[in-house]
Structure 1
């Protein structure tokens, strides 16, 4: 009779099993980048899809997708529940700002840009949004400083009726 005494495990790289719905499956393919997070941990990990199952689970209508994730630091524990974001499309954006920095003035998207005199309201044209970040297509140059929070007082100052003669 044989008895298993021990199992040698290398956790330097782990696999993350994802359940992807049948409707999202056409957007998923091997080699795509994936951001992985565990509830309660602020750090995220990044990996690549190494396998997309051609079969759907009869009950859940999901397919198994496997992500290979570097675990040299040992922070990813097998068996943990994770959330994952699969990058289905990407493009470089020259100028991005926090979405929270946007205000609407006279129906136009506006940011407050730091100048030598304080802040000036500037209309911008938005591109794509990725979570808390939005692309600025025009109206703002790379490197300019914008107010990223507490912009409502600036909006109120700009919106005040002007001095009338």
Structure 2
């Protein structure tokens, strides 16, 4: 968020001021360094003399600036889809009255966890005039209570609905041509919309029919409900990875910034950070392919790159004035 960026940039400015500041190349004390790097700039042909700044290692560390070497990697072919959580078929049970009669007790409410065999209700049979107990047929959570004490339970009437929610189905809705690429067995990352928690799973099957209302193909996976906060009926989003393509050079998306109309990264040389225009290629949710402008092994800022950008822009503005 913009305000977080402003706070982080301000923090960096304070750190830089405390340590003497980040000096643009060309100021006193940098003549040798600037001249030494000039030869490298002539070879590469696309680094501007002022598009750089110097940040002491301790200041960069305190500001959270981290670098990593550019290297070969993979770009995932991913599809972003949405879906709904539903109880697993066969893990939902209705608690039924065996004989009609007045309900004398009810011992569970919606949301209660019950175990198989636990008494949930007593009913006075109209046939024998004796009471009998109605137990829970499975262990799980009470989803619905459909009866009240004193009312008459009809034969076969459902008193409660119980579901085992330790696992849930994720029914993902896939539209158009995407349905031709997504098959069983591929990995899926499901994200809970309420708090961003994720769960990794595998796509189990693509259902043969089409959802009537949305005209989408439904693909199904199963997730474990370890914290109990994955709730049936909730909407989720998911990233389905159908393939991985190896590429010669990738950097994290967080390394990429813009300068004017160019995509750029920041390359560290000692304590100097240099703006490097690059041309990107394929990308996924985490990485971007670098087609030109960068060499394998160069140390690229991969975290807090916006702080380096802000300091270079500040240094350039001060030099121009």
Same fold (TM over 0.5): yes
Give distance in 2, aligned partners of 1:4 and 1:91: 55
1:144 aligns with 2:275: no
TM-superposed CA distance for 1:50, in Å, is 0.5
TM-superposed CA distance for 1:100, in Å, is 6.2
Q: Rg: which structure is higher?
A: 2
TM-score (norm 2): 0.42
Contact 1:113-1:144 at 8 Å conserved across structures? yes
In the superposition, relative to structure 1, how do residues 90 and 75 fare at CA in structure 2: closer, same or farther (>3 Å)? farther
- Structure 2 counterparts to residues 8-87 of structure 1, below 5 A: 8-9=139-140, 11-87=165-241
Contact 2:255-2:300 at 8 Å conserved across structures? no
Q: Which secondary structure state, in structure 2, belongs to the residue aligned with residue 123 of structure 1?
A: strand
Partner of 1:98: 253
TM-superposed CA distance for 1:118, in Å, is 1.7
In the superposition, relative to structure 1, how do residues 29 and 59 fare at CA in structure 2: closer, same or farther (>3 Å)? same
TM-score (norm 1): 0.74
**Which is helix-richer, 1 or 2?**
2
Q: Which has the higher contact order (CA 8 A, sep 6+)?
A: 2
TM-superposed CA distance for 1:117, in Å, is 3.9
Contact 1:21-1:63 at 8 Å conserved across structures? yes
Q: 2:312 aligns with which of 133, 151, 154?
A: 154
Give distance in 2, aligned partners of 1:4 and 1:101: 61
Partner of 1:88: 242
Give distance in 2, aligned partners of 1:69 and 1:47: 6
Partner of 2:152: none
CA RMSD of aligned residues (A): 3.3
In the superposition, relative to structure 1, how do residues 141 and 13 fare at CA in structure 2: closer, same or farther (>3 Å)? farther
Give distance in 2, aligned partners of 1:39 and 1:113: 36
Give distance in 2, aligned partners of 1:133 and 1:122: 17
Query: Number of paired residues?
Result: 162
Partner of 2:138: 7
Give distance in 2, aligned partners of 1:157 and 1:132: 30
TM-superposed CA distance for 1:83, in Å, is 0.9
